[in-house]
Structure 1
């Protein structure tokens, strides 16, 4: 169990080059950025692999300036009460633009055509004739009137779906876990697929926007391909492991899949027929990097200063208006009577509880309690130790 402490100056460490616009967020407040610190209060990271790192006992949070958190040992962080944040939606527009760009260009055989044209160098005055004679091999098809299947209707998927409608496509979406916020932003003209198999069967193009989990790994496989329309184009800007590459190779050879567009090239993928491999450019824009950095920094700052959690991947979101009163913020196991024991410890010192919130997620929970009565702005001595002795407390602090 950790010891409850009152926070002073908070140290922020970065493990990648983080946009200066994000780091500026920490200039307002009691923060210092020290990339040499071995025991920071929080870490901001992009792609740095953290799985082999040891974490100091002061580490309270890690913010990933991006959506994926595969480079972070999330389970280890959860056991230690370290909040892991990501930035869903911050890079959504950048990825959406790349999806639509490759959707159209692959359908028109643009990449192959441009590559072929470069082979005509040094042909001089014959180039116009060669272009007219050779262009027929790159005749493509228009996306207007075709059906786009969108798997995953989060921040990116919803933007793709809405803009595809504006391009006069028919759009069918599948997401059994769609959030209320996303549903409000999604056009009512997006048709709902009741199953993923229905989407596979009806789509001329399929784009996937889901995280990599045990359930989604290899979701594009022989069984899935057997349901799809011949010549379907598949766009993968989420994770390479969503696709069984051996099965994809067979599907491409047999013409079941007409084109595979992926942002995750590797040795196997680069050898596949009719595959467009992009060097992981989906979210690589200056605007996206700044948006992610700012969002990550703001979420960290809010958590360190008030205890409020938004966009955590391992603990529940929890928000309580911060009035400046002392606040107990405790991570604990999601077992009976934890809140009762914490409040009993507080009330045993004749302290009034002004407000509180408790949220759970899986085997863990998070409780914030504002204390009304204070002595010279400080918690009465002894309360720290009493709460810390409660069985099931993972880590806690006083703000």
Structure 2
């Protein structure tokens, strides 16, 4: 029986994916973790912890580096909340295009005034005249699971869409509408587009992706949306651009003290993935991933180790080894097994940077001596022996 700990309320749809061999436990000795936005940096993980699954895309709240050193696999659920974010992007675009924030705030002020509301509205509504999205140019920075959905949806709304992603995957490339214009330069997108929406992870290479230089040459009156991560936009630069009017609106789903109360800055309280459906989708995906890893050793959607899948375990035992990506590691492992008369039925080895993962299905029982000897191989971080009790 495996035990997992949840550091947030996880939708019941996800917990039902755990099956009979995994249960949620409130104790401090657990095999895995499922969490949403809880800050795991402040926690001391169980010595028995093997896997952390973030029910969401971002893993800034997870100590990925220290988990990697300990051989703890960190996974996320990319795409599970993509539709929720896509719809919030559309809502934000419409809000800025039609000046809905100013208009709705103004009409509420009529409540305590001694005026004919209907007549006043008809007289003053021209002050809030906006534009339609159809025919306008929009740049989508980042064409991952969310960006692709956003780009395709905005094209269907009649917008002229420009996409930018130097690391576009083959999988996502197949999903992009053929009419989306691909751009190879962020500055060019800002120069041409009426709107820009950002959908990239926060990395050292993407920090302050939108900065003073990019904004200096942007189309006058551009509207900028950041519903991804704080740190992607240089806030001093964007606030200066909003103040001088070169950026007509800035929408952020990651508000802080600096941007609150600023005119033409719309602050959303981190609602990108906050829908009942999105939370359920993320939880289901997280439940399936942690179960497949604990019961079968398979890794999917990991941010620190390679994806590796041998399917459901049908052999007598499965050996799962996290190790450094160095020459002759697989040779050492297979030689050690052969010297102990262990027959390899199936095997897979995948690497990611300095780290690698090897899964081996064997016909024999794997005793404690073999497990101990494998752990003593230089460069091996962890060894798990899964036994088929079916």
What TM bracket, shorter-length normalisation?
A: over 0.9
Q: In 2, distance between residues paired with 1:396 and 1:20?
A: 31
Structure-2 residue corresponding to 1:64: 54
1:8-54 per-residue CA deviation (whole Å, 9 max, x = no partner) reads: x110110011111111112x23112102x212000001111111221
Q: In 2, distance between residues paired with 1:321 and 1:247?
A: 50
Q: In 2, distance between residues paired with 1:358 and 1:135?
A: 65
Q: In 1, distance between residues paired with 2:348 and 2:237?
A: 48
What is the total number of aligned residue pairs between the two structures? 385
Say which SS state the counterpart of residue 382 (structure 1) adopts: helix
Structure-2 residue corresponding to 1:4: none
Q: In 2, distance between residues paired with 1:107 and 1:254?
A: 19
Please point out which of 384, 391, 395 is paired with 2:378: 391
- TM-score w.r.t. structure 1 length? 0.94
Q: Does 124-133 or 47-56 show the bigger shift?
A: 124-133
In the TM superposition, 1:18-29 aligns within 5 A as 18-26=10-18, 28-29=19-20
Q: In 1, distance between residues paired with 2:13 and 2:230?
A: 30
1:71-108 per-residue CA deviation (whole Å, 9 max, x = no partner) reads: 11000000001001111000000000000011012100
Structure-1 residue corresponding to 2:252: 262
Q: In 1, distance between residues paired with 2:2 and 2:251?
A: 44
In the TM superposition, 1:137-176 aligns within 5 A as 137-176=127-166
1:103-140 per-residue CA deviation (whole Å, 9 max, x = no partner) reads: 01210001210111000114466111111121111011
In the TM superposition, 1:292-331 aligns within 5 A as 292-325=282-315, 326-331=317-322
Please point out which of 313, 325, 329 is paired with 1:334: 325
1:271-319 per-residue CA deviation (whole Å, 9 max, x = no partner) reads: 3331111111111100000000110110000011111111001111111
Cα distance, 1:221 vs structure 2: 1.1
Q: Which runs of 5+ in 2 are unaligned?
A: none
Structure-2 residue corresponding to 1:11: 3
In the TM superposition, 1:48-127 aligns within 5 A as 48-123=38-113, 126-127=116-117
- Conserved in 1, the CA contact under 8 Å of 2:32 and 2:49? yes
Structure-2 residue corresponding to 1:6: none
Q: In 2, distance between residues paired with 1:74 and 1:345?
A: 31
Q: In 1, distance between residues paired with 2:57 and 2:348?
A: 27
- TM-score w.r.t. structure 2 length? 0.96
- Conserved in 2, the CA contact under 8 Å of 1:317 and 1:359? yes
Say which SS state the counterpart of residue 347 (structure 2) adopts: strand
Q: In 1, distance between residues paired with 2:68 and 2:193?
A: 39
Q: In 1, distance between residues paired with 2:367 and 2:286?
A: 34
RMSD in angstroms over aligned alpha carbons?
1.2
Q: In 2, distance between residues paired with 1:381 and 1:290?
A: 40
Say which SS state the counterpart of residue 130 (structure 1) adopts: helix
Q: In 1, distance between residues paired with 2:116 and 2:309?
A: 69
Cα distance change on mapping 1:120 and 1:306 into 2, 3 Å: same
Does residue 358 of the first structure (1) align with residue 352 of the second (2)?
A: no
1:166-217 per-residue CA deviation (whole Å, 9 max, x = no partner) reads: 1110000011111111111110111110122222222110000001111111
Q: Which runs of 5+ in 1 are unaligned?
A: 1-8
Please point out which of 207, 213, 226 is paired with 1:236: 226
- Conserved in 1, the CA contact under 8 Å of 2:296 and 2:313? no
Say which SS state the counterpart of residue 121 (structure 1) adopts: helix
Please point out which of 13, 30, 40 is paired with 1:40: 30
In the TM superposition, 1:266-277 aligns within 5 A as 266-277=256-267
Please point out which of 173, 180, 183 is paired with 1:190: 180
Say which SS state the counterpart of residue 269 (structure 1) adopts: coil
